Amino acid sequence: MRTGTITRKTSETEIAVEVNLDGTGAYDVSTGIGFLDHMVEQFSRHSLIDVKLKVSGDLHVDQHHTTEDSAIALGQAISQALGDKAGIGRYGAAYSPMDEALARIALDISGRPYLVWKAGFSQPRLGEMDTELFEHWFHSIAQAVGITLHIELLYGQNNHHIIEGIYKGFARAMRQAVELDPRKGGAVPSTKGQLGG
pLDDT by residue, tens only, the chain of 197 residues:
899 999 999 999 999 999 999 999 999 999 999 999 999 999 999 999 999 999 999 999 999 999 999 999 999 999 999 999 999 999 999 999 999 999 999 999 999 999 999 999 999 999 999 999 999 999 999 999 999 999 999 999 999 999 999 999 999 999 999 999 888 777 766 656 666 65
User: Sign of torsion, CA 75 80 85 87?
Assistant: negative
Name the pTM for this structure: 0.94
Residue 83 in contact with residue 2, Cβ under 8 Å? yes
Q: What is the pLDDT of residue 185?
A: 77
Phi, psi of 14 (to 5 degrees): -130, 125
What does the pLDDT look like over 140-178, one tens digit per residue? 999 999 999 999 999 999 999 999 999 999 999 999 999
* DSSP β-ladder status, 27-30 and 13-20: unpaired
In the chain the domains, ranked by start, together with CATH numbers, are 3-184 (3.30.230.40)
Q: Alpha carbon of 38 to those of 23, 114, 152, 176: distances in Å?
A: 19, 25, 21, 22
Radius of gyration of the chain (CA): 16
